[in-house]
Amino acid sequence: MSENENEQRYQPNQNQMPPMPHHQPMMPHQMQHSPMPYYPQAMHMQQDPMQQMQQMQQMQPMPDHDQMLPIEESYIENILRLNRGKVATVYMTFDSNEEWNAKVFKGIVEEAGRDHIILSDPENNKHYLLLSIYLDYITFDDEIEYDYPFNNQF
């Protein structure tokens, strides 16, 4: 078969790529119909970390610190910290304990962390370190302080 006859028989579908000769390197300009896009890589595009930080600061203007609100006010430990010194009743459930699976602790809120609460009971001079994972709910004898005191009112 002559080369001319091969060309006449082969009529590519618009959705198909024309065949590439084997063992020939493909150049970026030949990849017009390639299923995978060609992304040229810049050789000398690296910046030093100081330039990157300056660009980030230019892109994200920093708000005035006096006007910033806390990201999240209502985490339980933050609410408990706002109520330090108040008498609280803490209700907890311990599912794996058959002897006492529910227990109530009453005392003064001393501290609170992400995973714990510290109560002190002045009547029996005991201090309790309670894990928040067992916490059901808390009641207070006084009003619950929930809002953070800010310098500026919004």
Residue 111 belongs to what domain range? 76-140
> Is 122 among the domain residues?
yes
Domain count across the chain: 1
3-class secondary structure, 93:
strand
C-alpha count within 13 angstroms, C-beta hemisphere, residue 6: 4
Q: Name the token pair of 109.
A: 């809120």
Residue 100: which CATH number?
Answer: 2.30.30.100
Residue 3, pLDDT above cutoff 60 = no
Q: What does the pLDDT look like over 86-133, one tens digit per residue?
A: 999 999 999 888 888 999 999 999 999 999 999 999 999 999 999 999
Write down the pTM of the prediction. 0.51
Assess if residue 117 is contained within a domain: yes
154 pLDDT tier (thresholds 50, 70, 90) = very low
Is residue 103 a part of any domain in this protein? yes
Residue 40 forms part of a structural domain: no
| pLDDT tens for each residue of 28-70 | 555 555 555 555 555 555 556 666 656 655 555 555 555 554 5
Pairing of strands 102-112, 116-121: antiparallel
